[in-house]
Structure 1
Amino acid sequence: MNQPAVCYKHHRFSPQIIAHAVWLYYRFPLSLRLVEEMLLERGILVSYETIRRWGIKFGPDYARRLHRRQASQNDVWHLDEMVISISGKKHYLWRAVDHTGYVLDEIMQTRRNTKAARRLLMRLLKQQGLPPKRIITDKLRSYGAAKRQIMPHVEHRSHKGLNNRAENSHVPLRKREWSMQGFRSPGGLQRFVSIFSTLRNLFVPSNHNRTAFAIHLHRLKAMAEWKAVTGATA
């Protein structure tokens, strides 16, 4: 069933400007003030605070509407967690990507234990609808304990060198964390990564067939889907 169009009622700026501002902020390592400056260069006078509110209001809605890759029984899940400091306290962003680098899920938690690993696996099963062919993790024992409880028949390979796919997927978020000078709250981090990774899934092609023509075609299709989802088709 088709979803109703994004509602821009009572907003002074057009859907094209709002969607473009949100796209710039979440797709590229730009601060809100830099996005403000880029829009000003085009003759669009809007404050960085307005852009921030647009991201909070429309970003999650855009992300929910974007097409998600269909799950397969041949999928391989790479699981890993990254430490993020918020207000001087350690938090753990548990992440899962498939063998192509597509981000499957991310969840911010305060613990690095079996309960946290189990929560990630349960979310993945619920969202994907079926277990993977294999999961690959580092040597953290919490993954093995959680896997035995949730999906005991799924193959599990635990080796630091095998999990480069997940570890490499942290890099774009680390760069963004640095450019933003850190995150202010756990809720803000969770909201940000849900939008940030969804846009990366859409616009960044998989590691297979990365010819110049294939990348160009992928980006054109991604931009067409983005404009259709956001209503910025004028």
Structure 2
Amino acid sequence: MIQPVVRYKRHRFPPAVIAHAVWLYFRFPLSLRLVEEMLLERGIVVSYETIRCWAKKFGPAYAGRLRRKPPNSNDIWHLDEMVVTIGGRRHWLWRAVDQDGYVLDEILQTRRNTKAAKHLLIRLMKKQGYLPKRIVTDKLRSYSAARRQVMPTVEHRSHKGLNNRAENSHLPLRKRERLMQRFRSPGALQRFTSIFSALRNLFVPPRSKRSAIALRLHRLRAIAHWKAVAGTAS
């Protein structure tokens, strides 16, 4: 499905400035006020509240246009969940990444049980269109029960030491959570993480591209693709 072009009508700042501000906010561990300061250093006077509005309005549009990794039946899904406290209430952000650390999906839920795990697996199957080669989880029994109901033919490996890839995928979001002094609402967290992970998927290189030259080329291609997505490519 081809996503519509991002529209910047009735915005007094050029598209390149808006896209750059949104990129800074979601790509790096920066607060809105720090993004405001970085733009000011370039002679761009804009308030952090305006940047917040840009992130809320244009972030989902950019994320929807970012390319996604083609699904493959040989993929290995690593599943894990992290607890997030919002307004004094515990929520769980369920996340799935593949063998390269690419975030496949994530969903915020109020429960940490079989029903919640089943919801994640069903979403993944619909989104990917393929069953994985196997799934890897920690020892949470909800995964085993959900897998038996949803994908009984898929191999399941349950071992905490095997699931470091999924657990490590939580770390960038944890850093942002501390910087933002926690998230204000479940909707804000779900919206932020969907944009944050889509942008991270674009810029984080595959494990096979770790040399300096390969890393630099990967980043240049990612930047070029980001500008094309934002409609600011020259």
User: Is TM > 0.5 for Structure 1 vs Structure 2?
Assistant: yes
Give, as a single letter, the amino acid of the residue that structure 2 aligns with 1:181. Answer: Q
Q: What is the Cα deviation at residue 2 of structure 1?
A: 4.4
Superimposed CA distance per residue, residues 40-60 of structure 1 (whole angstroms, 9 cap, x where no aligned partner): 110101010000000000000
Counterpart of 1:206 in structure 2 is 206
Asked if 1:64 corresponds to 2:49, the answer is: no
CA distance in 1, matches of 2:48, 2:109: 30
Asked if 1:42 corresponds to 2:37, the answer is: no
Give, as a single letter, the amino acid of the residue that structure 2 aligns with 1:34. Answer: L
Give, as a single letter, the amino acid of the residue that structure 2 aligns with 1:148. Answer: R
Superimposed CA distance per residue, residues 115-137 of structure 1 (whole angstroms, 9 cap, x where no aligned partner): 00000000000000010000000
Superimposed CA distance per residue, residues 198-217 of structure 1 (whole angstroms, 9 cap, x where no aligned partner): 00000010222300001000
Give, as a single letter, the amino acid of the residue that structure 2 aligns with 1:76. Answer: I
Kept in 1: contact 2:33–2:48 (CA 8 A)? yes
Counterpart of 2:74 in structure 1 is 74
Kept in 1: contact 2:73–2:130 (CA 8 A)? yes
Counterpart of 1:13 in structure 2 is 13
Q: What is the Cα deviation at residue 66 of structure 1?
A: 0.4
Q: Secondary structure in 2 aligned to 1:46?
A: coil
Counterpart of 1:185 in structure 2 is 185
Superimposed CA distance per residue, residues 65-110 of structure 1 (whole angstroms, 9 cap, x where no aligned partner): 0000001010000000000111111100000000000000000000
Q: Which runs of 5+ in 2 are unaligned?
A: none
Counterpart of 1:219 in structure 2 is 219
Q: Matches of residues 63-142 of structure 1 in structure 2 within 5 Å?
A: 63-142=63-142
Q: Secondary structure in 1 aligned to 2:170?
A: helix
Q: TM-score under structure 1 normalisation?
A: 0.98
Superimposed CA distance per residue, residues 179-220 of structure 1 (whole angstroms, 9 cap, x where no aligned partner): 111100000000000000000000010222300001000000
Counterpart of 1:30 in structure 2 is 30
RMSD of aligned Cα (Å): 0.8
Q: Secondary structure in 2 aligned to 1:225?
A: helix
Q: TM-score under structure 2 normalisation?
A: 0.98
Counterpart of 1:233 in structure 2 is 233
Q: Secondary structure in 2 aligned to 1:135?
A: strand
Give, as a single letter, the amino acid of the residue that structure 1 aligns with 2:209. Answer: N
Q: Which runs of 5+ in 1 are unaligned?
A: none
Superimposed CA distance per residue, residues 25-51 of structure 1 (whole angstroms, 9 cap, x where no aligned partner): 000000000000100110101010000
Kept in 1: contact 2:3–2:64 (CA 8 A)? no
Q: What is the Cα deviation at residue 233 of structure 1?
A: 1.5
Counterpart of 1:166 in structure 2 is 166
CA distance in 1, matches of 2:100, 2:3: 29
Asked if 1:197 corresponds to 2:197, the answer is: yes
